[in-house]
Amino acid sequence: MPSEVSKFMSINSIWYTAAIVVIATTTAALAGFVISASNIRFKRTFLISTLIMMLVPPVALVIPLFVEMDKVHLVDNPWSVILISSLYPFGAFLAYIYYTTSIPAELYESARLDGCNDFKLFTKIALPLSTPLISLLAFFAFIGNWANYFMPYVMLPSSEHYTLPLGLGFLFLSTPAINPGVGATSVPIYKPEIALAGALIAVPIMIMFLVSQKRLIRGMLAGSIKE
């Protein structure tokens, strides 16, 4: 992949993924906190719809999502991918479980008696105790979106918005190094360059796994650690 192309694709991948991780993690943590610490109406309906969304793969909704994005003129705009991918029902449910099991309701009650309003309840009580949860939410949001091919493929037809996985897919399509059907080309792309492009996508995930696996297992077990 010529260096300038791989550079802008890397930048696209980094900023789309970073935006998704931030939005998805924040919204999911807030939702989990509210459901666990409040007495809002339709809590059960909300939880059931979140659970159903968790189990329904997002690609099943891609056609109506495309139509929806087209109506608001967001097709071929990175925000289409960022906003769609920021819906993180698994994260919301995980946050709900975490807050329900890790922070006793009595703590919220005492904070309220001490004059804490609900925003402070989150920022001063829940958030400082959420480091394992935030790591876990950010990790899974990163893993799920860094290598995502399908949604950018559908929503971002212009090559200037391509991400690294899309770029790699484009290489498959356009170089005789992989696909002899393409015929001769002047593009200086051979198998080593394609392997390097693959490594650009795989290595960050591998590093994330290696760096965070211990913390992840601790985070997942919050609330009921093996004694």
Partner 1 sequence: MAKTKHYKHSNGAMYLMLSPYLLLLFFFGILPALMGLLEIPKPSMANPNGGWDAFKIVVHDFRFGPALKHVLGFMGIFVPLMIFFVIGMALMLDIKHSAWKKWLRMAYIVPASISGAVAVLVWYVILQPTLSPIKGVLRYFHITESSQIWQQQNLVYILAIMAFFAAAGNWILIQYGSLQSISTEVLEAARVDGASIWQTAIRIKLPLISKYIVYMSVLVFAGGLQIFVEPQLLNGGIYTGIADSWSFDQLSYNLAFMQGDFGGASALSILLLIPSLLGALLVIFKTDMFEGAQGHIKKKDVEIVGI
Per CB under 8 A, contacts with partner 1 among 111-130 are 112, 117-119, 122
Q: What is the nearest approach in angstroms of partner 1 to the Cβ of residue 157?
A: 10
Main-chain dihedrals φ then ψ at residue 39, nearest 5 degrees:
-120, 40
Residue of the chain from 1, 19, 25, 96 that contacts partner 1 (CB under 8 A): 96
- In sequence order, the 6+-apart residues with CB closer than 8 A to the CB of 53 are 87, 89
Residue 77 contacts partner 1 per CB under 8 A: no
DSSP assignment string, 120-186 = HIIIIIIGGG-HHHHHHHHHHHHHHHHT--HHHHHH--SGGG--HHHHHHHHHHH-TTT-GGG---S
Site for partner 1 in 39-58 (CB under 8 A): 39-41, 44, 46-57
Amino acid at 21: V
Restricting to residues 190-219, which ones interact with partner 1 according to CB under 8 A? 191, 194-195, 198, 201-203, 205-206, 209-210, 213, 216-217
The reply to whether 158 sits near partner 1 by the rule CB under 8 A is no
- Decide if 131 contacts 102 (C-beta within 8 A): no
Stretch that binds partner 1, among 8-16, 89-97, 127-135 (CB under 8 A): 89-97
By CB under 8 A, the residues from 18 to 37 that bind partner 1 are: 23, 26-28, 30-31, 33-35, 37
Smallest CA-to-CA distance from 191 within 169, 206, 172, 205 is with 172
CA dist 49 and 56 (Å) reads: 10
Check binding of 131 to partner 1 (CB under 8 A): no
Minimum gap (Å) between residue 178 Cβ and partner 1: 6
Residue with structure tokens 């459901």? 35
Residue number with CB closer to partner 1 (45 or 186): 45
161-190 positions binding partner 1, by CB under 8 A: 165-166, 168-169, 171-173, 178-179, 181
